[in-house]
Amino acid sequence: MSMGTALAGAHRISGEDVDRYRSEGHLLVQGLAASYEVAHFAPAIAAATARHTEKAVPLAERDTYGKAFVQVMNLWRDDETVARFVLAERFASVAAQLLGVERVRVYHDQALFKEPGGGYTPWHQDAMYWPLDGHQCITMWMPLVDIVPSMGGLTFATGSHAEGALSDVTISDVSEAHFDALIAERGFALAEPRPMRAGDATFHSGWTVHKAGGNTTETMRAVMTVIYFADGLAVREPTNPSQENDLRTWLPGLRPGDLAVTSANPVVG
Ligand SMILES: O=C(O)CCC(=O)C(=O)O
């Protein structure tokens, strides 16, 4: 690795952008990584993703969730190059500024590759899955290739994060119908997807309602995400089976009330 690809140092966010994130629940940060930096890391992320998905079921045989993307989690623990990307100070510094905290920890990463012809990602709230305070959690979503909306860009329900938990339904056609009705009822404005360059990133709160369209192009929508939480959070009592599973998987050995501190959740930034 050369110093040019270290993703070191903080990336400063303007006060205006911090305010926008806090009122809207999502923020686009353009040029967070340069194209040569993405080019350095993307092959390792794609190769690690492929290693885990050699036996993927054909698209047509999957359910709505399975059609949405190839999803592989915590690649940073498998591959040193991916770890340098996921644990990068530059990315974590943005998460910390938006949450208004000194330090964040990694909850987990996930590669979300929406295949050509891949289906839509139904409306959902991420923090429904997490035994943590969703207001103190944030996801960075970064395309590794230039994307246009028809590849499956994210749509956000602006301001929905402020309402906290709005459903207990896992990502499915049921969550889609639930949030379609709720968005119409509460009148949230929708922030439609925009073209993004590889290395641009969006950040969204744990409670922001969001979805993605299908990928109607011939190009893989290669996206890497990192989920962070504010250092100092305590583990919450799980309120559904998804949170019980997440507690076992991503906060290994911890119980409700414990500080969310394990070697699988390093401080970054
Ligand atoms: O990439 C997608 O299609 C959905 C992403 C998402 O829901 C997330 O990163 O929280």
- What is the token pair recorded at 229? 């939480």
Mean pLDDT of the chain: 95
Q: Of all residues in the chain, what percent are helix, strand and coil, respectively (each to 5)?
A: 35, 25, 40
Query: Which residue out of 107, 112, 172 has the highest number of ligand 1 atoms within 8 Å of its CB and is therefore the one to mutate?
Result: 112
CB neighbour burial string for 170-204, b if at least 16 within 10 angstroms, e if fewer: ebeeebbebbeebbeeeebeebebeebebbbbbbb
CB 117 within 8 A of CB 59: yes
When pLDDT is cut at 50, 70 and 90, the band that residue 43 belongs to is very high
Pocket of ligand 1 (CB under 6 A): 68-69, 112, 114, 121, 126, 139, 141, 152, 210, 212, 223, 225
Q: Count the alpha carbons within 13 Å of 202 in the hemisphere toward its beta carbon.
A: 23
Give distance in angstroms: CA of 260 to centre of ligand 1. Answer: 23
When pLDDT is cut at 50, 70 and 90, the band that residue 33 belongs to is very high
Q: Which of 86, 147, 160, 158 is nearest to 118 (CA)?
A: 147
C-alpha distance across the termini of the chain, in Å: 19
Q: What is the pLDDT of residues 83-98, one digit of tens each?
A: 999 999 999 999 999 9
- What is the token pair recorded at 235? 């583990």
* pTM above threshold 0.75: yes
For residue 105, the surrounding DSSP H or E stretch is strand 104-114
Give distance in angstroms: CA of 147 to centre of ligand 1. Answer: 14
- Enumerate residues 6+ apart whose C-beta is below 8 A from 62: none
Q: What is the pLDDT of residues 211-236, one digit of tens each?
A: 999 999 999 999 999 999 999 999 99
Give distance in angstroms: CA of 2 to centre of ligand 1. Answer: 31
Strand stretches in 115-231, DSSP E: 121-124, 137-143, 154-157, 190-191, 201-205, 210-212, 221-230
* Size of the chain in residues: 269
Alpha-carbon distances, residue 163 vs 8, 15, 55, 141, 269 (angstroms): 35, 23, 40, 22, 28
Return d(Cα 122, Cα 101) in angstroms, integer.
31
Query: Which residue out of 137, 225, 226, 228 has the highest number of ligand 1 atoms within 8 Å of its CB and is therefore the one to mutate?
Result: 225
In the chain, pLDDT over 70 holds for what percent of residues?
99
Give distance in angstroms: CA of 112 to centre of ligand 1. Answer: 7
Q: What is the pLDDT of residues 178-190, one digit of tens each?
A: 999 999 999 999 9
Give distance in angstroms: CA of 3 to centre of ligand 1. Answer: 30
Query: Which residue out of 64, 176, 210 has the highest number of ligand 1 atoms within 8 Å of its CB and is therefore the one to mutate?
Result: 210
Structural domains in the chain, CATH included, are 11-250 (2.60.120.620)
Going by the DSSP 8-state scheme, the letter that residue 207 receives in this structure is T
Q: What is the mean pLDDT of residues 21-30?
A: 98
- Enumerate residues 6+ apart whose C-beta is below 8 A from 209: 123, 124, 125, 156, 157, 160, 161, 166, 179, 182, 183, 188
Helices (H), the chain: 15-24, 35-52, 64-68, 80-86, 89-99, 173-186, 241-250
Alpha-carbon distances, residue 73 vs 19, 24, 93, 236 (angstroms): 30, 27, 22, 22
